[in-house]
Structure 1
């Protein structure tokens, strides 16, 4: 019968080294007031016993909890999970956060909070009291919810605001949304497109406005039209379909669409099929997000790749370092990139004649 290995505790280390629990805790947490010889003795016991510090042991020093808490939108996250839409925002957030936390001996935890709830203060307050995190990462739209940011500021909990460039407390980080939309528009123009539409996200997200700004800036520089080429959705498939139909109804010669989410881009792809338009021969599509699903659509979608993991990693680094400069250096921007696939191509030579292309899908 196999022997069950006993879990080594902080008490085992204290007994092996002949010191108090508090002394072991100070060594684990690299605390002060421990003589070098005593520190070496405790560390030798840790190494010999194979002790892995628990959160409880780390907290005994009283200075830090060694927890970074990420707050994500409950409604949208649960909807994505239940509908299994292939979005990977939370996955990428955990990838960047967990790896960086583990490098520093921290743990990352995620709480889902409804930003529209009347009980948001109570829900978040309960989580903060229970976990006592050393830092909090806010994702959109929480990052711009003043009730949340003011609560964290009042409790003097360091926090990072992803997707927000508004002045105020907290470390502001963005993912280069304006520059990414500008890049996508310029790329389509390089391919010869002259009618480039945008399906924007909901106004409650600042990043929706930033992307519109980038699109408009590129059009203005290139001397291309804007009128009638903008529609808004809610990031979901149905809203993307409505927006794509409206754009194509108003602009029969439309040759390119930039969609502010993968789901809305997939909807535009479906609308194109309904109307007998071939992607990319008749209509080029560029999406935002670059979630796994866009690699398997037909054709695979060209997409703006949002650096979610890197952005969260940067946020964790600043929260753990607790450097005052982090909040004083202004907005930290982590630039996005463009991944080209088969949904973009040179503009059709005679877009006005494509109405006769029904059936070429």
Structure 2
């Protein structure tokens, strides 16, 4: 005789159907304790749960155990393809350890970011991963620390290192971008910088200046973008080209800025790389599909996300000691947007 699924089947109903005690059914249906039940018994209990349509109430279980097994993740822009592999890396590690993620798109407004984090804390997350942090005394991180919620930063870090972080080696990443351009014969190289309230913008600009000065080249051709977006890249890139008309190459602080620069070049009747070579930063998905395919500094985003999740698990378990800053190595991926310096450079605009 087939059992008729109840509207809200209980744990006791599952236990009765499987012929086991209620506590055994509870252990078998909890991913954290299923290993304590013999395989054949656990399979019988889980099959009974499926037949009855039973769903474990994780929220109720969390209230009893004071463990929600939820982690909050705050990202500034879900439309930015950089964050997809970071999230994949985080969720893969969390899932293997019995945790689920609540992902929130915060935008760049600090008040909105604080409100979102407050909502995540209100949903009893056991830890937080922030991809939103500003360079100096980030107020969102301050809120997390005041609430005593274990918090890890990813992709960006604070100057004071108040929380563990996983970042790329931004200084070295920009160094290899500049050295690549110098190796192609370029001497008039500009930098399309990211926002200077973010660690990625600050460190990549510093890396550009250090690499240029080490080579004995002028590092003054810099324009800062207001945001990491194509639109901001087009505006700042156009200003960079107009102010420094003799540039033959530009190292951009991220790929979206580089793509915005593509548009600014086209508006001025210039081509890449024949007139100006361009290097991006991040090697986000699909930059190999644009024309020309973008040379970019590859950051190991998925690895970065996985490492951030592991750091957070250490924080939540109490196994972490001190503030850990982990740095992943970058790699230059050469494509069609960079080429050897043309025999004749463009002339600087008349002053």
Structure with the higher fraction of residues in helix conformation: 1
1:123-142 equivalent positions in 2, closer than 5 A: 123-130=116-123, 132-141=124-133
- Match among 200, 203, 212 for residue 196 of structure 2: 203
Alpha-carbon offset, residue 324 of structure 1: 4.8
Q: Secondary structure at the match of 1:328?
A: coil
1:1-361 equivalent positions in 2, closer than 5 A: 10-15=11-16, 16=18, 18-21=20-23, 24-25=26-27, 28=30, 30=32, 43=42, 45-46=44-45, 49=48, 55-56=58-59, 59=62, 62-73=65-76, 76-77=77-78, 80=79, 87-114=80-107, 116-118=109-111, 120-130=113-123, 132-141=124-133, 146-162=138-154, 163-227=156-220, 229-233=221-225, 234-321=227-314, 322=316, 324=318, 326=320, 328=322, 330-351=324-345
Alpha-carbon offset, residue 165 of structure 1: 4.2
Superposed CA deviations along residues 297-356 of structure 1, whole A, max 9, x for unmatched, are 21111112232222111111222233556452531112232221100111223325799x
Q: Distance in 2 between matches of 1:146 and 1:235?
A: 18
Asked if the contact 1:88–1:291 (Cα under 8 Å) also holds between the matched residues in 2, the reply is yes
Cα RMSD after superposing both structures: 3.5
Asked if the contact 2:11–2:25 (Cα under 8 Å) also holds between the matched residues in 1, the reply is no
Q: Distance in 2 between matches of 1:5 and 1:192?
A: 73
Asked if the contact 1:26–1:61 (Cα under 8 Å) also holds between the matched residues in 2, the reply is no
Unpaired runs of 5+ residues, structure 1, are 81-86, 356-361
Q: Secondary structure at the match of 2:231?
A: helix
Superposed CA deviations along residues 74-120 of structure 1, whole A, max 9, x for unmatched, are xx44xx4xxxxxx3134223311222222222211212335535465
Unpaired runs of 5+ residues, structure 2, are none
TM-score with structure 2 length normalisation? 0.82
Residues 275 and 120 of structure 1: CA distance in aligned 2, closer, same or farther (over 3 Å):
closer
Q: Distance in 2 between matches of 1:215 and 1:196?
A: 10
Asked if the contact 2:137–2:158 (Cα under 8 Å) also holds between the matched residues in 1, the reply is no
TM-score with structure 1 length normalisation? 0.80
Q: Secondary structure at the match of 2:73?
A: strand
Q: Secondary structure at the match of 2:174?
A: helix
Alpha-carbon offset, residue 219 of structure 1: 0.9
Moved more, 38-47 or 140-149: 38-47
